[in-house]
Structure 1
C-alpha cells in the first residue's frame, strides 16, 4: 500500500474549507454513509410494558385535563430517536387516555391518525361530526385533514394506542392544523359510514374525495372472527401465522396512503421463522402473549404492550396461548415508491 500523500491530503482539506463557506460539500467523503448496502436506521428495538406505563397515564390524568392538553397522550419515544416524537423514523406512537365525562375538543391536521383501542368500551370518536363508539381491539382511523374529537360518556377510563405519520409529514414540511373554534357544528348520524361503505356496498356513482378509507371503524370482533375462520382450515404461515391487512373498502388498498395496519393470529405454541422487512413497524399485543426476539433482544409482550421492530431487523415470535397482534408501518409509502423489501430466513 502506498503511503498517504500528505501534500495532497492538505490540499483537499483546504479545498473543503473553501467550498464550505459557499455551502458545498464533497459527496465522495459521504457516499458510503448515504448509500448503504442495507438500511442503517437510528431506530432501535424497544418494548413498552402497558402495566408500567398505565400508572403514568393515571398520574397524567390527575395533572392535566383533556381540554387543557387538547390530547392527553404519553409519547412512546424510540430510544434511538429521543426528542423527535418518533417511534420509528417515519411514524409516531403514543398512549392516549380520556376519563369519564371528558371531551377532547375537535381539531384537524394534515397528519393522518390511526387508533387501536386498548382499554374500556363505549367512549366515542367523532370524524366530521359522525360519532363512532369504540370497543377494545377496534381499529379506528382519522384521515388527514378531517375534523375529529373524542368523548367519554361512560364511567371508566378509555385508553388507546395512537399512530400518526408525524415524522413523515414533518420531513416533507407539510404540517397544517386548525383548532376547535373553526370546526363545523353539523352532526351526522352514527353508523352512517358503516352503512355506506361497510357492507360490501358503495353509494351509486361514488367518487372518493381522498385516498383514505371512508370507513372509520374496523371492529375487532369482526377481524377476530375472520382470523379464526381462516385458522380453522389452513396451516399458519411460517413467518406470520395468520395475518390480514386492513383495507379501504373503496379501493382495496390501505386505509391510509401513508400507513398500513395489520392484524395477525398466532396459534398457541407457534414459533415463527426469522423475518425482516424494510418498514419499521409498531406492534401491539391484543390478546395472548408473545416471546419476542429482535436481533439480540428478548422480552415477553403481554396484552396491550407495545414494541417496535426497526427496519431490516430480523425478528421471531413465539405465541403463549392463542395470540392476536396489531401492527402498523409505513409500508404503503415504501410500496408506492418501489422501496419495500422483505426477507424470510
Structure 2
C-alpha cells in the first residue's frame, strides 16, 4: 500500500462512503404488506363508535420510517407496485427504490378510502379518513409517521390528520389541496353529482357516471393543454359531428365506470365539499405545492392556508399546463421538492 497523502485521502473518502452506504446495503429487501386491520372510530356524521376494516398497503424497507401517502378520490392504496408484471401504482414515477420517495429510506403506508356504507352513515368526512389512518398507525405500532404526503383529497385528509392528531406526524407535504374547497369547484362537483343521481333515478347509472367523469376531466386539466391537444376541426361520423376532445372524454368516462361505483363517487365527491379545517389547529411544519393552472385549488387558497397555519409553512409554485392533475403529470418537477421536504 502506498502511504502517499493522496492514497490516504482516497482511502479515508472510501471509508466514509462505505459508512454512509452500509445501512442501505444491509437493509432487508423491500417488502409489500397488503392487508386489512379492524379499527374503531366515531364518525363525524354518526353518534356512536363503529368498527371498520381499513384496507392498507405498507411498502418499502421493513425497518424504515413510515410515510403516509394519499391521493385523490379515485386513488387507491396501490401508490407503487414492486412487481414488474403488475400494473403500475398511481404515483409510480415518484415512489420506488432510488426515487424521490425512496423506498430504501422510507416505508410508504396508504389506505383505500372509506365509504359511508362502511361507517353506517349517510356521509363521510375528511376527519373520518384521518381518524382511520391514525387508528391504523396505532394498530401497526407506529408512534409517529415521518410525513403525511397528500395530493388533492389526500391533502385535505392530511390537514385533518395534523389538526386532530398532531403528535402522529412530523410534517405535511400537501399538493393541490387546501383547508376548504373553493366555491366554484364545489359548484362543478355539485353538477357532477346531480348527473349521477339523475342516472340512478332513470336506471342509466353507468351512462351518468361516465358523463360526470367527463365533466370532471374538464376541471382537472388546464386550458393550455386542452388548447394544444384538441385544436383540430370536427369529424362527421355516425350521423353527427364529433369534436377531437370528445373521444378523449368518452374514453376517460368508460375507464372510470369500469372500476368505480356510483355511490362511492357521490360520497367521496361530497366529502371534498364538506371539508373545512381551521389552519390554526395545524401545528406541524408544512410544505405546500400548488399549480397556477389549477382551477380547482387556486393559488390564492394556498396563500391563505400558508398564512394561517400555526406551524411553519413554505409554498412551492410549479408551473405546468396540466392544471389540477399536475401532481400526477409532473414527476420531474416534483421530485426535488419532495426530496427537500422529506429531508
| TM-score of the pair, normalised by structure 2 | 0.23
Bigger strand fraction? 1
Bigger helix fraction? 2
| TM-score of the pair, normalised by structure 1 | 0.23
